[in-house]
Structure 1
Amino acid sequence: MSLPPVQISTLAQLTSGQDWKLSLAHDRPAHMLIWLTRGQGRLLLNGTRRGVGTHNALSIPAHTLFSLEMGRQSMGLAAVIPDGTDVRLPDGPRQLRMRDVTAINELTGLLEAAQREANTGRALSQDALDAHVLLMSVWLRRQITEPEHLPQPMNAAARLSAAFCKRVAAHHAQGLTMADHAAALNVTATHLTRACKAATGRTAADLLTERVLHAARSALIETDVAIQDIARHLGFGSAAYFTRFMQQHTASTPTALRKSARG
């Protein structure tokens, strides 16, 4: 089976004007490289929350829970790289705060050239995009070996939060509760909640809710799957329970959300 093509987009194109697509905790089936060129915000990655700003490069492997909240005036570019390609990318999530002007110009140039290829639709444009992504992977692997970009040790709360986020990404559609995840991690629900709150500013229940909410909204907007089938897929006991969940967190019914997004 052939893989989807590499995609290059702006942050605005990535969200289509719907901030929840990035601001809710979620994971994606493809690798992402996000390059922030203007603005500041907050990032959830690898089970911790941290600030982000101009000339931050975010390497987010496929199926890694993350969220990105940026101000209205923020700008950036994103490369979406299908999982399963031959491109060598960092195994773990990374945030690089770039200060070296040469390195900044290199990545900016690669992404802008890739964006031009994506927009022109010339012959062999996807081959050219693949080549640009290979060079981006070289840039990334060079940068993560620099002393200033070596990851900082994680404390116990951050390690537990990261383990929980990995479980949420893998099992969010199985109807598991936060207490179920705590038991699987051999900790109490109270301890898990305290660790996640310390590391991310969100409780464990908040993170699980956000992931399910993101999956629900995506399915409602991007597919024609029946609402009761979406509810079943996400582990809800009934369509009525799913409707109450959506009303509680969006103030709209699933039907209204789908109609509004397509109206």
Structure 2
Amino acid sequence: MSLPPVEIKPLSQLTLGQDWRIALAHDRPEHLVIWITRGQGRLLLNGTRRGVGTHNALTIPPRTLFSLELGRQGIAMVALIPDGTDVRLPVGPRQLRVREVDAIGELTGIFEAAHREMTQGRALAQDAIDAQMALMSVWLRRQIALPEHLPVAMNAAARLSARFCERVARDHADGLSMAEHAAELGVTATHLTRACKAATGRTAADLLTERILYASRMALIETTVPIQDIARHLGFGSAAYFTRFMQQHTGQTPTALRKAAR
């Protein structure tokens, strides 16, 4: 089966003007490369929260929990690269703070050239985009090899938080509580809560709730699956419990959210 094409788009097109699409903790099925050209904010990645700003390059592998709060004035370009691609991308999540002028110009040029191919509809456009992604791969691997981009050692709280985030990305629809996830990790719920709070500024329960909320909103807006089936798929005991969950976190019922989106 052939892979879907690479997509290049501004961050504003990815979010469609709805901040929750990027600000809620979630994961995606494809590789993301995000190039921030203006603004600053906060990033959740690899189980830790850190500041993010202009000329930061983010590489986010498939099924990696993350969130990005960049603000209304922030500008970024995003490459969505299907899993299974031949393009050599970083294995783990990375945040690169780029300061060298030539390197900034190179990555900006790659994104601009790929985006032109996306929007102009010329012959062999996808081949040209694939070639630009190969250049992006080289750029990323060169940057990662620089001494200033060596990864920082994680403390015990961050390591535990990262392990929990991996579970949330993989198992959020299983109906497990935060305490049950903690037990699977071999720690108490209290210890897991403290570790996640120290590493991310969010509790473990917050992270799990956000991932479920993101999945709920996407299913309601992007599909026609009946609400009771969405509730069951996401581990809710009943459609009524799912409705209370959505009202608590969005102020709207699932039916109202779906109607508003359409």
User: TM-score, normalised to structure 2's length?
Assistant: 0.99
Per-residue deviation, 1:210: 0.1
Per-residue deviation, 1:229: 0.7
Give the aligned CA root-mean-square deviation in angstroms: 0.5
Aligned to 1:240: 240
Aligned to 2:89: 89
Per-residue deviation, 1:103: 0.5
Per-residue deviation, 1:123: 1.3
Q: Deviations over 1:148-189 (max 9, x none)?
A: 000000000000000000000000011011011101110000
Per-residue deviation, 1:31: 0.2
Per-residue deviation, 1:2: 1.2
- 1:144 partner letter: I
1:192 counterpart = 2:188: no
Per-residue deviation, 1:28: 0.1
Query: Once the two structures are aligned, what percentage of the paired residues are identical?
Result: 77
What CA distance in whole angstroms lies between the structure 1 residues aligned with 2:129 and 2:259? 35
What CA distance in whole angstroms lies between the structure 1 residues aligned with 2:22 and 2:137? 23
Matched residue of 1:64: which SS?
coil
User: TM-score, normalised to structure 1's length?
Assistant: 0.99
What CA distance in whole angstroms lies between the structure 1 residues aligned with 2:101 and 2:251? 46
Equivalent positions of 1:98-109 (< 5 A) are 98-109=98-109
What CA distance in whole angstroms lies between the structure 2 residues aligned with 1:157 and 1:69? 22
Q: Deviations over 1:78-116 (max 9, x none)?
A: 000000111111100000000000110000000000000
- 2:37 partner letter: T
Runs of 4+ in 1 over 2 A off after TM superposition: none
Per-residue deviation, 1:124: 1.1
Aligned to 2:170: 170
Q: Which runs of 5+ in 2 are unaligned?
A: none
- 2:109 partner letter: G
Per-residue deviation, 1:255: 0.5
Matched residue of 1:95: which SS?
strand
Equivalent positions of 1:36-47 (< 5 A) are 36-47=36-47
Q: Which runs of 5+ in 1 are unaligned?
A: none
Aligned to 1:182: 182
Matched residue of 1:76: which SS?
strand
What CA distance in whole angstroms lies between the structure 1 residues aligned with 2:235 and 2:141? 39
What CA distance in whole angstroms lies between the structure 1 residues aligned with 2:136 and 2:129? 10
